[in-house]
Chain A
Amino acid sequence: MISKHFLGLLCAAAICVLPADHAFAQEKTVKVGAVFPLSGGSASAGVHAKAAIEVAMDIINNAHPEFGNFPLAKSAGFAGLGGAKVEAVFADNQGSPATGQNQTLRLITEEKVVAITGAYQSGVTLTASAIAEKYGIPFVNGESVAANLTERGFKWFFRVTPVAADFARIFFEFLADMKAAGAKTDNVAIVHDTTEYGTSVASVIASVFKERGQTIALDIAYTSNATDVQSQVLQLKEKKPDVVIMIAYTSDAILYQKTMQSLDYKPPMIIADDSGYSDPSFIKAVGKISQGAFNRSSWSVGPPGSPTALIAEMYKKKSGDDLDDTAARAMQAFFVLCEAIDRAGSTEPAKIQAALKATDLKPDQLMMGYKGVKFDEKGQNMLAAGLIIQLQDGENYVAVWPKASAGKAPVLPYKGW
């Protein structure tokens, strides 16, 4: 008795899902899918990544001779494809592995994208890249750090970003240098959340430090999106570590800095691991009370007129925020992908894949502080690297380590507010 109306519903649903008309697709654009969390708890990161990729599209599609040797900037569009333009098709993965996979499938089969980039959270990148692998579409990731992503034997997955082991090495070497300069660094505490990012980075840091003969004195794990962090700060206050390594997303990072101020706790040295501490909202919210905090990053603004300064300026104009490391890494991945498409001179996925495998970019062709981009057989960038930045005089991070890329000298101890 209900079936007739049910039938009506089915028909209605069927009409809704009829494919969009693609008759108007221009021949002169190359579509690239970009799957990011544009809603939900990580939307802030996704929205920034989207703005960054839109800036990258501007740089690629219009003539920007001021960028000098920077790939794809000089002429309008892809030189290798007769000036064809790149179009990023954005999709919202809602921070969900299921939605990420659905949207990737839609981008591949309905939007006919030639390659994909994304998807921020490692879990979402995992499912999204799995469907790209099945369809044989290149997936270039710029910001997910879970170790298992490149251990799956995939042939179409490429990762540009440094991973936890790289971070740990950076931290260790930086601390060794600081120790040589006279700072106390023996007693290290790690504060991290129990997300996949927080636990994996913390455990890799602990094991790298242990290999090199230094133990982690205090390990404070907490559940992400905390309502209160007073007890954790009090634990630190009591144990008095020389160095506190903070691994936190924006929400918790803001809360930690506010709580440290209200409980009057100033560790001699705070080193943050990117993410929350890099978010421009973090600097706006608590930058004034976090003076002297170190941060791991691969992004730093170069001297005026350099490509990075131009990018920073364009991004600020577009989004109103300062470019942060996470969005910058997503942008770099998009550039790497586009450079491969240009070099392939084709929109055929297999040719793009071959071009990606042959990628060999030098530091001056990159916006990030990597030593280059060259993928190993697992698809991991072997030359990914990072630097240490510090929040000095006001609301800007400046590069302080390694010396080669430092704009200023590191200042100790942590000043706070």
Chain B
Amino acid sequence: MRPNLIGRVAIEKNHGTMSSILVQVIVGGLLLGAVYALFSSGLTLVWGMMNIVNFAHGDFVMLGMYVAFVVWTLFGAGPWAGAPIAALVLATLGVVVYFGLIRDIMKGPMLAQILGTFGLALLLRYSVFWWFGANFLSLPENLVGGTFDIVGLRIQASRLLAGVVALLVTLGLHLLLTRTSLGSKMLAVAEDSTAAQLMGIRPDTMQAIAWAIAAGATGLAGALIATFFYIVPTVGETLGIVAFVTVSLGGFGSVPGALVAGLLIGVIESLSAYLIGAVYKDMVVYSLFLGFLWFRPQGLMGKM
């Protein structure tokens, strides 16, 4: 192990600026965590509703990013147009994927789901690779109004927008599931699809709707992340594993859980990167995650 001692000594010397920088680190972590929550909400929804692990989830985010990029190159439009279009495109794709693949592999064992969605991940990733090439792409810096200063804190507008949308999406999904009849029907199918069918609910329709919503939210997330991240066909690999950890920490199927877990991971990553060293931040997150599962095997807000 390579301890990053020099960095730590430096921090201890500079007490004057440390507290303001520490606040910046925490705020940055919260905004990052909101983004994690944003691209995990779709995953937790299908995971909880259908007990499906979507290994292609990261690649759904990637597709959302590419849609935003295409919208920008064709029409010069920012995320105001790109995000809704990405949500629509991905929702359509979600329905297609549900009827073309998921409906059938759900009948098989869990392994078939990993097999099918992993194959789908490769198919999506390399179809994009084939069409757009391997180059890194990026949207212009100031598409969402640059960065502003609030009492010495630097807040990037694009990240703030993503954070606010994350809260809205979480709230929206939560209300949909708990306060609407559509939500109750979807939960009924998730609980016991045979019983739901006897009550006149069509499981196929409900699950297709769930996939549309989940994929749409993921597309929205991708389009917003594209405003401050780079875009490349393999970006889903980087983001997918973060989404997995966020969702399992929050509890499968719990949308508020994903938000809390996302924020938590964001802050822990930022703080540990700043205080211990950036090399250790992922180790800290994985260790805490494993330790947490020891005490609460169902995640933060999940049910057994």
- B133 at interface (Cβ–Cβ under 8 A)? yes
| Interface positions of A (Cβ within 8 A of B) | 39-41, 43-44, 46-47, 194, 216-223, 225-232, 234-235, 237-239, 250-251, 254-255, 258, 261-264, 279-282, 284-286, 288-289, 321, 417
Would B136 and A219 count as touching, CB distance under 8 A?
no
Closest chain A CB from B19 CB (angstroms)? 11
B138:A286 contact, CB within 8 angstroms: yes
Smallest beta-carbon distance A54→chain B, Å: 15
Complex CA–CA separation, A223 to B278 (angstroms): 7
Roughly how many angstroms separate A1 CA and B2 CA in the complex, as a whole number?
Answer: 56
Give the contacting residue for A262; candidates B138, B147, B230, B234; CB below 8 A.
Answer: B147
Q: In the complex, are the beta carbons of B234 and A41 less than 8 A apart?
A: yes
- Cβ contact within 8 Å between B279 and A285: no
Q: Is the CB of B141 within 8 A of A281?
A: no
Can you offer 14 A-B residue contacts whose CB atoms are under 8 A? Answer: A39-B129, A43-B233, A44-B232, A223-B281, A230-B32, A231-B271, A231-B278, A234-B21, A234-B25, A238-B10, A239-B7, A255-B230, A280-B135, A281-B138
When distances are taken between beta carbons in the complex, the residues of chain A under 8 Å from B11 are 235, 238
- Chain B positions 225 through 254: 1 when the CB is less than 8 Å from some CB of chain A, otherwise 0: 000111011110111001000000000000
Pair B137/A281 contact, Cβ less than 8 Å: yes
A221–B2 CB distance below 8 A: yes
Q: Are A223 and B4 in contact (CB under 8 A)?
A: no
Residue with the highest number of chain B CB atoms closer than 10 Å, among A232, A234, A255, A264:
A234
CA gap between A48 and B32 in the complex, in Å: 33
Task: Given A44-B232, A221-B4, decide whether A254 and B136 contact each other with a Cβ distance below 8 A.
Answer: yes
| Majority secondary structure, B binding face | helix
- A280 surroundings in chain B (CB, below 8 A): 135
Partner of B7, one of A43, A220, A282, A289: A220
| Contact in complex: A222, B278 (CB < 8 Å) | yes
**B69-113 interface (Cβ within 8 A of A):** none
Contact partners of B239 in chain A: CB under 8 A: 227
Q: Are the CB atoms of A231 and B274 closer together than 8 Å?
A: yes
| A231, B21: Cα distance in complex, Å | 9
Q: Does any Cβ of A come within 8 Å of B273's Cβ?
A: yes
Q: Which of B127-148 contact A (CB under 8 A)?
A: 129, 133-138, 141, 147
Q: Does the CB pair B129–A218 fall under 8 Å? A: no
Additional 5 contacts, C-beta under 8 A, given A39-B129, A264-B147, A279-B136: A230-B29, A251-B136, A254-B230, A261-B141, A262-B154
**Which residues of B have CB within 8 Å of A217?**
6, 10
Q: Which residue of A lies closest to B272 (CB)?
A: A231
Contact call B135/A281, Cβ cutoff below 8 A: yes
A238 to B270, CA, bound (A): 15
A39 and B277 contact, Cβ closer than 8 Å, known pairs A234-B25, A281-B137: no
Least CB distance from A209 to B in Å reads 13
A262:B156 contact, CB within 8 angstroms? yes
Pair B230/A220 contact, Cβ less than 8 Å = no
B6 lies within 8 A of A227 (CB): no
Q: Which of B24, B129, B271, B273 contacts A232 (CB 8 A)?
A: B273
Q: Interface SS of chain A: helix, strand, loop or mixed?
A: helix
Q: CB of B17 within 8 A of chain A?
A: yes
Interface residue? B118 (CB, 8 A): no
Q: In the complex, A41 Cα to B279 Cα: how many Å?
A: 20
Q: How near does chain A come to B31, taking the closest CB pair, in angstroms?
A: 9
Whether B134 lies near A238 (C-beta < 8 A) is no
Query: Are the C-beta atoms of B228 and A258 separated by less than 8 Å?
Result: yes
Query: Which residues does chain A contribute within 8 Å of B271, judged by CB atoms?
Result: 231
Considering only CB atoms, which chain A residue lies closest to B22 in the complex? A234
Residue of A nearest to B147 (CB): A262
Please tell me if the beta carbons of A239 and B10 are within 8 angstroms of each other in the complex: yes
Chain B residues whose C-beta falls within 8 Å of the C-beta of A238 in the assembled complex: 10-11, 14, 17-18, 21
Give min CB distance, B68 to chain A, whole Å. Answer: 14
Instruction: Write the chain B residue with the least CB distance to A202.
Output: B2
Cα of A229 to Cα of B238 in the assembled complex, Å:
14
A-B pairs with lowest CB-CB distance, top 6: A285-B138, A231-B273, A222-B278, A281-B136, A43-B134, A231-B274
